[in-house]
Structure formats: structure tokens, C-alpha cells
Amino acid sequence: MSAHALDADHEDDRHLDAVAVSARAELVRAIDLSGAWDADPGWRAVFSAVPRHLFVPYYYVAVADGNERLWRGSPDPRTRERWLRGAYADVPLATRLRDGELVSSSSQPSLMARMLAELRVSDGDRVLEIGAGTGYNAALLAHRLGDEQVTTVDLEPEITDSARTHLADAGHRPTVVTGDGTRGVPEHGPYDRVIATCALTTIPRTWPAQCTRGARILAPLATGLIALTVHDATHAEGTFLHTAAYFVPLRGTEPAVQGEIPHRPGDHELLRFLLTLTHGTLDPREARELWEREGRPGRERYGITVDGAGARAWLDAPESPHTWQLP
């Protein structure tokens, strides 16, 4: 390669480095404005330090005739800059498609920030992440708590292999396990916090069993976020946050129930949440009558109990007359 070409490459690298710094600062400002980390402002410095673009060397954006792949190795410098700026947009990024269907993504950073703030970590906490994805969330946790405190698990070797590579590129080496997240990772427990970054249909009883007393479990379920406190190895309980949350389903679980519920014009988003939470045990008419009769409850009025009998959802209180067994 000629000296002129090398100089041009170095100049392009310097330009992209400057773009990354500027774009990351802009993302942090956007998350500031969203109020996502109000519950724990300590995450601001973490998001400022961890480079998201290292975890999304390519991603897909929807175009008129399908999906366009943006990647850092594009020969077009304008496309490389577009990839880089897009990596710091406050939006979810589709990172893996299979037969046109989304199977993995990098979540919206402001939602990630809100979830991490709601996880309420303290120095010394040991954290289990369900759903390694790109490795970005594990890197944020590792930056805050230390590599040795973080374990992340995913079912597909291709995903865990790439997550390890991305994490190493960012200077982090938490424990990355290939396995079934519903079973947890008992050999690296007990955990003080469990966070899932994929949509669930229930809360596995294996998770509280691998936690310390008082541990917190935060997971997407039924288009919401459930926050559970672990009381002992067989009992965890808590309520949903008010925040809506939409994630790729946990691989190996049944299909998302949302797709099986008929949608009618005029259905309220919170009514859809109730239908999804109850897994179709209420038909749409019954759900609407209940929802209207109870004052159109928001997500925060619903909760989940996990015990020896499995997991069940409830409205207002565990002893409520309105309870539904989860799968």
C-alpha cells in the first residue's frame, strides 16, 4: 500500500474516532433527557465510557425492498460514517436475521439505561444476565461492577462467540456461557441480581434458587418489565414497572403470545398487556370487561409471585381474586 493510501486510511480512522466520541456524547445527552437513569445516575459515566459501536460491527436497517446491512468494513467512507452514527442512535439495532426474521438485536440504549438503573446494583454485587446478545449490556455491567462479578448466558454458540470477541475488543472479560438461560448458571452463583434482556413468558423457578436472599430479578414479560425480590430459594415476588418494553423472545421458549391474540382497532395498549400477561386465558371480551371494571389499570398494578407452585400473575395483590397461572 502506498504512503498516500496509508495516510488516507489514518485520516479516515481519526475522523471516525472523533465521530464516535461526539456521537456517544450525544447519546448520553439523549438518555439524560429521557430520565432513564434518574434512579441511579452512576450509569451515566458507564454509558459515556463504553463504546457501543464495538458491539455492533454490522446491523440491519429497514429499506423499501427489505433490509440494508450497514457494517464498519464498508469500502465507502460515507457508509462507514453512517454505520457509526447509527450505532449511537437511541434505537434498537437488528443484529441477526434468520429467513428475514429478527433473532437478535442490540436494545434501545435508553431502555437499557432504565433497566440497569432499576436493577439497583451495589459494589460487590454478582450479576447474571440472561441473553448475551452483542455483549454490550454485559460490558456496561462489567465496567460498573468488574468483570469477575458478571456472568452472561445465551443459547446459541454463534452469539456467545461474537459476544466474547466484542467484549474483548472493549477490554472486558466477564464470564460468557453457552447454555439455556431458563436454567440459569448455578456454577457461578449465587447472584445478587438477575437481568434478562429477552422477552419471557414466565419466570423460571431456577432463577430464585440461584440467588441470595433479597436479590432482585428484572425481566421483560408481557410487554412490560417485572421487578421481583427474592425472599428465599423458592419464593420471589414483585410488581411491574410502568415502562413498556418489547424484546426479542428468549430462544427455546414458546412463541410470543402477542402474535396469537387477535388485534382489533381501538384496543388500548394496556389492554393488550393484560391479554398477553394472561396468555389468552381471558378472551378479548372478558379482558376488556375486567380492565374497564377495574379502572383501566396500568402495568404497575400487576405483579408476579414465583413459588413452589410455579409462577402466577395477579392484579393489585397476590391474594387478589384476579390471578392467572403462567406457563
pLDDT per residue as tens, the chain (327 positions): 555 444 455 676 788 899 999 999 999 999 999 999 999 999 999 999 999 999 999 999 988 888 899 999 999 999 999 999 999 999 999 998 887 777 788 999 999 999 999 999 999 999 999 999 999 999 999 999 999 999 999 999 999 999 999 999 999 999 999 999 999 999 999 999 999 998 999 999 999 999 999 999 999 999 999 999 999 999 999 999 999 988 877 765 544 443 344 445 445 889 989 999 998 788 889 999 999 999 999 999 999 999 999 999 999 999 999 999 998
* Domain termination site, one of 80, 108, 136: 108
Domain boundary among 74, 108, 142: 108
Query: Would you state the pLDDT for residue 8?
Result: 52
Residues 273 and 127 in one domain: yes
* Residues 212 and 293 placed together within one structural domain of the fold: yes
CATH number at residue 185: 3.40.50.150
Q: Does residue 114 form part of some domain?
A: no
156 in the same domain as 24: no
| Cβ within 8 Å of residue 65, ≥6 positions away | none
Looking at the structure, tell me whether residues 152 and 99 fall in a common domain: no
- pLDDT score for 324: 96
SS3 sequence, the chain? CCHHHHHHHHHHHHHHHHHHHHHHHHHHHHHHHHCCCCCCCCHHHHHHHCCHHHHCCEEEEEECCEEEEEECCCCCHHHHHHHHHHHCCCCCEEEEEECCEEEEEECCHHHHHHHHHHHCCCCCCCEEEECCCCCHHHHHHHHHHCHHHEEEEECCHHHHHHHHHHHHHCCCCCEEEECCHHHCCHHHCCEEEEEECCEECCCCCHHHHCEEEEEEEEEEECCEEEEEEEEECCEEEEEECCCCCCCCECCCCCCCHHHHCCCCCCCCHHHHHHHHHCCCCCCHHHHHHHHHHCCCCCHHHEEEEEECCEEEEEECCCCCCCEEECC
Q: Which of 108, 135, 163 is the last residue of a domain?
A: 108
Domain count across the chain: 2
Looking at the fold, whether 149 and 282 belong to one and the same domain comes out as yes
Both 175 and 312 in a single domain? yes
The residues assigned a catalytic role are 104
pTM above 0.75, yes or no: yes
Pull the grid cell for residue 82: 453512517
Tell me whether residue 130 is in a domain.
Answer: yes
Confirm whether 113 is domain-assigned.
Answer: no
Residue 139 and residue 43 share a domain: no
For residue 68, the enclosing domain spans: 1-108
pLDDT in tens, 21-49: 999 999 999 999 999 999 999 999 999 99
Same domain, 103 and 193: no
Same domain for 101 and 128, yes or no, is no
Which pLDDT score is estimated for 293?
A: 96
Is 276 among the domain residues?
Answer: yes
Instruction: Please state, in angstroms and rounded to a whole number, the distance separating the CA atoms of residues 71 and 87.
Output: 10
Nearest-CA neighbor of 140 among 116, 108, 111, 161?
116
Q: Please report whether residue 115 resides in a domain.
A: no
